[in-house]
Amino acid sequence: MKYDEIIAKALEVLRAGGVILYPTDTVWGIGCDATNEAAVQKVFAIKRRSEAKSLVLLACDLDMICRYVREIPQIAIDLVEVNDAPMTIVYPGAMGLAPSVVAEDGSVGIRIPLVPEDPDGGRGGAPICGASFCRELVRKLRRPLVSTSANISGEPAPVHFADVSPEISGAVDYVVPVGCGDGAGRSVSLEYGASGRASQIIKLGLRGEVEIIRK
């Protein structure tokens, strides 16, 4: 299946309120349109996860984040510019999102997937991989994407598709293929470049407060 066809199918499912299983810049995840509360509830049900635990979202850039938080602290811009590892920033003042993705204090965790610099198999200078897939998908969806590890709550997060349990893969509406064609006759793996571990999490306040939640 070609890369563009996979993007198109994932978009179709997300826009219809479905849930997808897909590779990210860290591990395999399940996700949905982060503005669709009914879809978010499906994610919680698949993971058997308490709604008290907030969900991480993926955005394609800071401009998108600006549309879903009331104010971006200056330090967040600095962190994004110098970041060289997967990093989720918890922003205050979430807005326009499904209620269940927002924490009790009104904050929301958002990550911009970090695309590896290696241009092998590239698409406009960036490699086709989980991170680039996520960024292009989110850009075309024009809304943030829920990104939570593709496992039953409490079980290990799957680094590779082979690690995803049949219970998870059988519960989603679309499974993104691991391999695809890049449109130039080459086969690429969407697992390329994934860190294999959860992102660091940094919580920010509007007065310059910084709290490291996970290194």
Of 71-80, 94-103, 164-173, the least confident: 71-80
Mean pLDDT, rounded, of the chain: 90
- pLDDT bucket at 122, cuts 50 / 70 / 90: very low
Per-residue pLDDT at 84 exceeds 70:
yes
Q: How far apart are alpha carbons 143 and 57 in whole angstroms?
A: 10
pLDDT band at 25 (very low <50, low <70, confident <90, very high): very high
For the segment 180-188, the average pLDDT, to the nearest whole number, is 77
- The tokens for 142 are 């024009």
Q: What is the CATH number of the domain that holds 88?
A: 3.90.870.10
> Domain range spanning residue 153?
3-214
Rounded to an integer, the average pLDDT of 6-11 is 97
* Residues 42-47, mean pLDDT to the nearest whole number: 95
DSSP secondary structure letters along 72-119: --HHHHHHHHH--S-EEEEESSB-SS-GGGS-TTS-EEEE-----S--
For residue 201, pLDDT over 80 is answered with yes
pLDDT average, residue stretch 158-179: 96
Return the pLDDT at 73: 87
Question: Which range scores top for mean pLDDT: 48-52, 64-68, 112-116?
Answer: 64-68
Which pLDDT score is estimated for 198? 83
User: How many domains, in total, are found in the chain?
Assistant: 1
What does the pLDDT read at residue 85? 85
Q: Which of 14, 16, 123 is nearest to 58 (CA)?
A: 14
Q: Give how far Cα 150 sits from Cα of 31, 47, 128, 129, 145, Å.
A: 9, 8, 21, 18, 14
Question: What is the pLDDT, as a whole number, of residue 126?
Answer: 64
Q: How confident is the model at residue 117 (pLDDT cuts 50, 70, 90)?
A: low
